[in-house]
Structure 1
Amino acid sequence: MSRPAPTENALLRGAAGALDVLIDVPAEVRGIAVVCHPHPLYGGANTNKVTHTLARAFRELGYAVLRPNFRGVGKSEGSHDLGNGETEDTLAVVEWARQRWGDLPLALGGFSFGSYVQCRVANQLAGDAYRAERFALVGMAAGNAADGARQYDTPPLPAGLSSLIIHGENDETVPLANVLDWARPQELPVVVVPGADHFFHGKLHLIRDFVARVWAPR
């Protein structure tokens, strides 16, 4: 059985300059996944453990997974743009992947601020012929953060997506009630992990299990 290739480092072109991207490619590519990391002003990067866990889960399902660093993180140029430029850059990564692997099924994944960006990306792609089919949000950002320093007007997901929304019962950054308020009018189920905090300490294996359980080939 062939093994997946080692993680690649690539510098892609974004609107504000270079985009620092990690790429994980399975032995056989069946889809494309782009996974976004938490808030760059609070230490978020594409090496974050939750982001890495999502990437690994998608790679094990046969997705080529791209994890961009947002503006100002790592070797990515530019500065934090409150989700606007980050959405633009994520769309650029999707297009680059499409040029490399073709119009394979697309999945979007995000953790915390990265989930907010991916909701915006999904809506930008909703009217295109090439749009996301699967969507994984972990510790998603919606409403007011618990510290009162940030507020997220997270758009609803486009209709027709297969979505997996995972949140910790004891999330100290984004209260679970915020996510339920966002999901309720859309009639979207939310998987609540008992005892989990925002970073899913000691619970990361559950994220992988949920992704595999929902989307493993039948």
Structure 2
Amino acid sequence: MNAHTQKFLIDGPVGKIEVALDLPDGEPRGIALIAHPHPLFGGSMDNKVAQTLARTLVQLKYVTYRSNFRGVGATEGEHDNGIGERDDLRAVLDYMRAQPGQADLPLVLAGFSFGTFVLSHVAAQLREEGREIERIVFVGTAASRWDVAPVPDTTLVIHGEKDETVPIQSVFDWATPQELPVVVIPDAEHFLHRKLHILKRIIVDAWR
């Protein structure tokens, strides 16, 4: 992603998990975990949308972690349809919280596509345990393909108007019962080709 990205392995439920870490300048305001798109269709933590999420959250002063799902990069194990992947993200979160000075920092969860499905269930687990999440950011929410769990009303939902992978109506159908606004990027497809600068602007504006 950039010259300062650190990549390393941590222990997970079924083997090693590959993690990328990006640090903000100065005192961090929180920690963030980013989940990438579907592993069986080329998704990884180096996906352009995942990288844009990381770059933006680092700019907003978050210690930002990305991890590869099972079977991607140096992460061990086999794809588990988003079930075992939840346990892996919990392992990354435990690692994050165990780092000096990070135990009590506010937590942001950000996901793209398949990553929104996995993160939605991780967020539900955390909320059931009484653990606070400062904010969730979902891009290309995979509501037409998986059972994305309900999320808090502070969640920022961003979607491309012309997304053919996840039709925007499916996101409206998921968001409407929760009374969640959906921020639409005009003329954008699923991977937000040539629209990543707009994604960054939406997130930065939401934090103001």
Same fold (TM over 0.5): yes
1:13 match: secondary structure: strand
> 2:111 matched to which residue of 1?
110
2:110 match: secondary structure: strand
Alignment length, in residue pairs? 204
Q: Deviations over 1:135-191 (max 9, x none)?
A: 000011012xxxxxxx3111111x4x5211100010010000000000000000000
Cα drift, residue 203 of structure 1: 0.3
1:132 match: secondary structure: coil
Aligned-CA RMSD value: 1.3
1:33 match: secondary structure: strand
Structure 1 counterpart of 2:150, from 153, 156, 160: 156
Instruction: State TM-score, norm by structure 2.
Output: 0.95
Letter in 1 for 2:63: A
Letter in 2 for 1:200: L
2:75 match: secondary structure: coil
2:123 match: secondary structure: helix
What pairs up with 1:1-218 in 2 under 5 angstroms? Answer: 6-27=4-25, 28-100=27-99, 101-143=102-144, 151-157=145-151, 159=152, 162-216=154-208
Aligned residues of 1:5 and 1:26 also touching (Cα < 8 A): no
2:176 match: secondary structure: helix
> 1:147 matched to which residue of 2?
none
Letter in 1 for 2:36: H
Q: Deviations over 1:23-61 (max 9, x none)?
A: 001122210100010000000000000000001111111
Distance 1:60 1:140 in 2: 23
Letter in 2 for 1:58: L
Can you give the 5+ residue segments of structure 1 that lack an aligned partner in the other structure?
144-150
Cα drift, residue 129 of structure 1: 4.0
Cα drift, residue 92 of structure 1: 1.1
Per mean C-alpha deviation after superposition, the further-off stretch among 194-203 and 120-129 is 120-129
Distance 1:8 1:214 in 2: 28
Instruction: State TM-score, norm by structure 1.
Output: 0.90
Stretches of 4+ aligned residues off by more than 2 angstroms: 127-131
Percent identity between matched residues is: 50
1:126 match: secondary structure: helix
Cα drift, residue 5 of structure 1: 8.1
Letter in 2 for 1:93: V
Cα drift, residue 130 of structure 1: 2.8
